[in-house]
């Protein structure tokens, strides 16, 4: 189970915040089968995320999930 938190500090525009949230949800869906069941994860988006592209989100999220041993990365 995932929760995504994006404050107005990231962007005052809801369109921008929703785009980031959609990108993160897409990555989670694509990694769904690799994620071990039973986890409850909250993703907090920082203001620098506004500069990121989809590929960067994908790379960063995969790296964090592997580091936390939520997906098999070894």
Which pLDDT score is estimated for 1? 82
CATH number for the domain that contains residue 33: 3.30.230.10
- Note whether residue 74 is domain-resident: no
Range of the domain at 9: 2-67
> How would residue 74 be classed by pLDDT, with cut points 50, 70 and 90?
very low
Percent helix, strand, coil in the chain, to 5, is: 55, 15, 30
pLDDT in tens, 26-71: 888 888 788 878 888 899 999 988 888 889 888 988 898 888 888 8
Looking at the structure of the chain, the number of domains it has is 1
* 8-state DSSP, 69: T
pLDDT band at 21 (very low <50, low <70, confident <90, very high): very high
């Amino acid at each position: 189970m995932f929760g995504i938190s994006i404050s107005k500090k990231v962007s005052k525009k809801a369109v921008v915040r929703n785009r980031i949230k959609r990108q993160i949800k897409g990555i989670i869906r694509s990694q769904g089968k690799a994620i071990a069941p039973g986890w409850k994860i909250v993703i907090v988006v920082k203001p620098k995320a506004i500069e990121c592209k989809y590929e960067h989100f994908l790379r960063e999220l995969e790296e964090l999930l592997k580091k936390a041993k939520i997906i098999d990365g070894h």
